[in-house]
Structure 1
Amino acid sequence: MVLGWWDRIEETLVGLLGLIALVIGLLQVIGRYIDPARAISYAEEVIVYLIIWAIMIVSSQLVRRDGHVRPDLVLRLLPSRALRIVEIFNCLVAIVFCGALVWYGWEIVDTSLLISETSSTDLQFPMWIYYLALPVGSALMLVRYIMRLVRFAFFFDPATMTVGQVLHDEMPGGLSPPLTDR
């Protein structure tokens, strides 16, 4: 139940951030052709901030859906016991990495707040808001990796927890998916 809400909130936020970036870009392009003197000078900056926030939020969804870059071809060849060990190791490494990103990201945010850093454009945007995307996105991924670790460590089911599940309809040229004896 909580995960469903969490997913919907993340997906809604990412959609809104993308939509706002699109509208700002559209307004800037139209404004540049109608009245170049009054075009939004800082539109590109705001679009970058919005897209960075969207990317950091959606990275949590990629953890949930196994969407991050990984060697699926190699993982498919492993027996279920080895796959479980590799996935647990992957989760542990990712947890340490995401934890380091949260800590480092917070250090950057704290420093930016301390020196009252703002962007160099006319907007004078507070940079700590931009930098906050790193610890927030990393914390979201960290929680997802912890959930994934618990699932693989304590609730592993080799019948349902396979890597790179392929539907017959998705196979190119009528090929059948590889047989697995897991």
Structure 2
Amino acid sequence: MWKKSARAIDKTLAFIEEWSLFIAVMTALIVALANVFLRKFTPISLYWSDEVVRKVIFFTTYVGAAAAIRSRSLIRVDALPQLFPVLKRGLTLLSHLAALFFAGIMVWLGWQMTLMAYHDTFARTSTLQIAEWKFYAVLPVVGVMIFVRSLIVMVEDWQGGPARE
């Protein structure tokens, strides 16, 4: 029962991560290329293209962190478990607990920042005038994704096999 639920959650999160990353990166690529083309061949320049690219980098950094947990690609110390294999399980647990702690901080502080920006009517992006709270809202959402994904990976490691088989 757990593996079936974990597999469904994993597939849903993977779909959200992959498609949102794809759409965001393609948007930044198209905007940046259009700006370069327009600047080189016409007197027109998209003054807002840099802002779009910056916001996409912000978005992809956090969503990419959630995706990195899925593939077990987060940065961690792996020299000690190679030298002392008996420490592998404990250090892996410590790594998962650190990711859970980080996710909790992201949810808490991200929610606070989102609320602050939501209540500040002047908190808008400089060129596109988009409300900043919409970008800060990514933090608690991705924090929840990281938390859930970390729990799934932690249980998989503890039980000895991935739930995605």
TM-score for the superposition, normalised by structure 1: 0.76
1:56 aligns with 62
CA distance in 2, matches of 1:97, 1:13: 22
Gaps of 5+ in 1: 162-182
Give 2:33's aligned amino acid: L
Q: Which residue, out of 43, 46, 53, partners 2:52?
A: 46
Q: What is the percent sequence identity of the aligned residues?
A: 25
**Offset of 1:49 from its aligned partner?**
0.7
Report if the CA contact (8 A) 2:110-2:140 is conserved: yes
Give 1:10's aligned amino acid: E
Bigger helix share = 2
2:11 aligns with 4
CA RMSD, 1 decimal: 1.9
Gaps of 5+ in 2: 1-6
Structure 1 residue ranges, 4+ long, deviating more than 6 angstroms after superposition = none
Q: SS where residue 84 of structure 2 aligns?
A: coil
Give 1:42's aligned amino acid: W
Larger radius of gyration: 1
Q: Does 1:141 align with 2:117?
A: no
2:110 aligns with 105
1:33 aligns with 40
**Worse-superposed segment, 135-144 or 18-27:** 135-144
CA distance in 1, matches of 2:154, 2:72: 13
1:174 aligns with none
Report if the CA contact (8 A) 1:18-1:50 is conserved: yes
**Offset of 1:77 from its aligned partner?**
2.6
TM-score for the superposition, normalised by structure 2: 0.83
**Worse-superposed segment, 106-115 or 71-80:** 71-80
